[in-house]
């Protein structure tokens, strides 16, 4: 497959460039702009967003671990925050091309890390891809989160999830609770509109907790700040669900 070059988003070009994930989803327009604003605020912290110059979901985001919002101890590492190659672009070596961009930018660090699930799941990285690229699993957290690492310095300490992010439970025990952030352009719309409407119809208590800072995000009880859903205190999904998806997730309601 012929592809165009790779574009790095900057404060100067972000207004005119799409950010891949939700550019064709008009329902998410406000959340889409919130993601752009979030990116602009993170560029000064060393955040990188690179994408293939195409109309598609083909991009990688990464940041120095010390500046990440994720509850992870990983001094002098780079962490991949979001990585997506979909549709006609999948299976053509483009994912490796984008990963190589990250690895090249990280060569002065101890290594690169990424969170995956235990298997291929929607909205999460597939561990098989990173295993194939020479990453090693270094930590896990309930119920299915995994931390993978590719070290450049073999003597560097292993990165790890914070102990507080391994329980798979939150302190909010009544009904449905969702933690989310502007780092995803889908989360705002689907939680504040779609999920709120579903919960009202089902008469289910719903509490939405938006993470607005690194400090808040690093206090999460699971290592996933994009979107984490709990029911009566137990983690039930990281996915951004439609109303039908919620019916399947909690059929008893």
Residue 79 lies in a domain: yes
Q: Are residues 114 and 195 in the same domain?
A: no
Q: Are residues 150 and 180 in the same domain?
A: no
Q: Are residues 104 and 127 in the same domain?
A: yes
Residue 169 lies in a domain: no
Distances (CA, A) of 173 to 69, 177, 183: 24, 8, 25
Q: Are residues 184 and 231 in the same domain?
A: yes
CB of 65 closer than 8 Å to CB of 158: no
Residue that finishes a domain, picked among 101, 131, 163: 163
Chain-wide mean pLDDT for the chain?
93
Q: Are residues 58 and 81 in the same domain?
A: yes
- Count CB atoms within 10 A of the CB of residue 208: 16
Strand partners, 59: 51, 84
Residue 207 lies in a domain: yes
Q: Are residues 199 and 153 in the same domain?
A: no
The token pair at 247 is 């019916």
Q: Are residues 142 and 202 in the same domain?
A: no
Range of the domain at 127: 6-163
Give this prediction's pTM: 0.94
Residue 220 lies in a domain: yes
Q: Are residues 123 and 151 in the same domain?
A: yes
Q: Are residues 128 and 219 in the same domain?
A: no
Q: Which pLDDT does position 24 carry in this prediction?
A: 59
Q: Which pLDDT does position 54 carry in this prediction?
A: 86
21: closest CA among 237, 211, 235, 240? 240
Q: Which pLDDT does position 243 carry in this prediction?
A: 95
**Percent of the chain surpassing pLDDT 90:** 83
Q: Are residues 145 and 200 in the same domain?
A: no
Residue 139 lies in a domain: yes
Residue 132 lies in a domain: yes
Mind listing the pLDDT tens digit of every residue in the chain (253 residues)?
445 599 999 999 999 998 876 665 678 888 889 999 999 999 999 999 999 988 878 999 999 999 999 999 999 999 999 999 987 788 788 999 999 999 999 999 999 999 999 999 999 999 999 999 999 999 999 999 999 999 999 999 999 999 999 999 999 999 999 999 999 999 999 999 999 999 999 999 999 999 999 999 999 999 999 999 999 999 999 999 999 999 999 999 8
Write the CATH number for 208. Answer: 3.40.30
Residue that finishes a domain, picked among 120, 137, 163: 163
Write the CATH number for 100. Answer: 3.40.630.30
The token pair at 24 is 């064709």
Residue 81 lies in a domain: yes
Residue 170 lies in a domain: no
Please tell me the total count of domains within the chain: 2
Q: Are residues 133 and 182 in the same domain?
A: no
46: closest CA among 16, 71, 76, 23? 76
Residue that finishes a domain, picked among 130, 163, 196: 163
Per DSSP, the three-state class of 244 is: helix
Q: Which pLDDT does position 236 carry in this prediction?
A: 98
Q: Which pLDDT does position 18 carry in this prediction?
A: 87
Q: Are residues 202 and 224 in the same domain?
A: yes
CA 163 from centroid of its chain's CA atoms: 20
CB of 191 closer than 8 Å to CB of 227: yes
| Max CA pair span of the chain | 55
Q: Which pLDDT does position 144 carry in this prediction?
A: 97
Q: Which pLDDT does position 2 carry in this prediction?
A: 44
């Amino acid at each position: 497959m012929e592809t165009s070059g790779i574009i790095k988003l900057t404060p100067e070009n972000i207004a005119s460039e799409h950010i891949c994930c939700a550019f064709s989803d008009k329902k998410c327009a406000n959340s889409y702009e919130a993601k752009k604003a979030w990116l602009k605020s993170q560029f000064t912290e060393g955040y990188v967003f690179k994408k293939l110059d195409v109309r598609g979901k083909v991009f990688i985001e990464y940041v120095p671990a010390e500046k990440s919002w994720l509850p992870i101890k990983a001094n002098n590492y780079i962490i991949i925050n979001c990585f997506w190659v979909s549709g006609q672009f999948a299976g053509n070596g483009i994912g490796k091309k984008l990963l190589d961009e990250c690895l090249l930018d990280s060569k002065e660090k101890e290594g690169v890390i990424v969170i995956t699930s235990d298997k291929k799941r929607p909205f999460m990285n597939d561990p098989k891809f990173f295993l194939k690229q020479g990453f090693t699993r270094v930590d896990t957290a309930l119920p299915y989160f995994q931390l993978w690492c590719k070290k450049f310095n073999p003597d560097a300490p292993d990165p790890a999830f914070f102990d507080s992010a391994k329980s798979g439970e939150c302190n909010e025990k009544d009904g449905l609770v969702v933690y989310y952030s502007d780092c995803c352009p889908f989360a705002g719309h689907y939680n504040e509109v779609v999920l709120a409407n579903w919960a009202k119809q089902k008469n289910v208590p719903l509490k939405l907790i938006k993470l607005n800072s690194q400090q808040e995000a690093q206090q999460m009880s699971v290592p996933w700040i994009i979107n984490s859903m709990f029911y009566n205190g137990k983690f039930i999904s990281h996915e951004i669900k439609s109303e039908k998806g919620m019916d399947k997730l909690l059929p008893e309601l």
